[in-house]
Amino acid sequence: MSLQLGDTAPDFTADSTAGAIEFHAWKSGSWAVLFSHPADFTPVCTTELGRVAQLKQEWAARDAKPIALSVDSVEDHNKWVPDIDEVNKTTVDYPIVADPDKKVANLFGMIHPNAGDTSSVRSVFIIDPADKIRLTLTYPKSVGRNFDEILRCLDALRLTDRATVATPVDWREGDRVIVPPTVSTEDAKAKFGDVEEVKPYLRFIAQPAG
């Protein structure tokens, strides 16, 4: 059965470019963004892993730890990282997990044989500080990911965890947010102040501070 939102992310121990990783202990109460790529020394992956490295300060600001995975070896990862650094003018300093036996990829359902072969597709798992899976994305091997969108999702998850709100389409940090149906308009006004009622079920407020 595939992993679902709210499930506890599988724990695993594996070798990586940062040494042996015990996943739950490594993330240790932080958010984690686990993303797989099909293979080392491939063009799309080279741009993706470089972009994640360029966003180092953005991950840190959100108490989030990125971690990559492919079915290649640590030796191959270590040979490839200088190329990523050079092409993207950055430094990859987050772990890249080696998974040659596909143990981790199978735990997370990253192998989609009907998509071409038995390498891992471009999966993304956002995992919260309690080790729960909060968001999943799956891209085909030919399509590079938008990591700005993944950061946006992290912002939305963190906001909706701390405040009783939902985020509308295309929401960005600082935009107005939605009062969920479980909260009455009266309660929303008491808690948040001004409420714009577009429909009885669609009510906007300014993004709560904090």
Q: Where are the domains of the chain?
A: 13-145, 163-205
Does 202 score more than 70 pLDDT? yes
pLDDT given for residue 2 in this prediction? 84
What span, in angstroms and rounded, lies between the C-alpha atoms of 27 and 125? 13
Q: Quickly state the pLDDT bin for 207 (edges 50, 70, 90).
A: very high
Tracing tokens 């992993």 back to the chain, one arrives at: 3
Residue-wise pLDDT tens digits, 28-75: 999 999 999 989 999 999 999 999 999 999 999 999 999 999 989 999
Residue-wise pLDDT tens digits, 144-189: 999 999 999 999 999 999 998 999 999 999 999 999 999 999 999 9
pLDDT given for residue 118 in this prediction? 59
Residue-wise pLDDT tens digits, 6-30: 999 999 999 999 999 999 999 999 9
Backbone CA torsion sign across 106, 119, 139, 53: positive
153 noted as active-site residue: no
Residue-wise pLDDT tens digits, 68-120: 999 899 999 999 999 999 999 999 999 999 999 999 999 999 887 666 665 66
Does 3 score more than 70 pLDDT? yes
Strands 64-70 and 31-36: parallel
Q: How many CB atoms lie within 10 A of CB 123?
A: 22
Q: What are 152's two structure tokens?
A: 């946006």
Contact 210, 163 (CB under 8 A): yes
CATH number of 163-205: 3.30.1020.10
pTM given for the model: 0.93
Q: Quickly state the pLDDT bin for 136 (edges 50, 70, 90).
A: very high
| Percent of the chain residues past pLDDT 70, beyond the cut | 95
Q: Which fold has domain 13-145?
A: Glutaredoxin (3.40.30)
Q: How many CB atoms lie within 10 A of CB 69?
A: 25
Q: Which of 9, 33, 34, 45 is catalytic?
A: 45
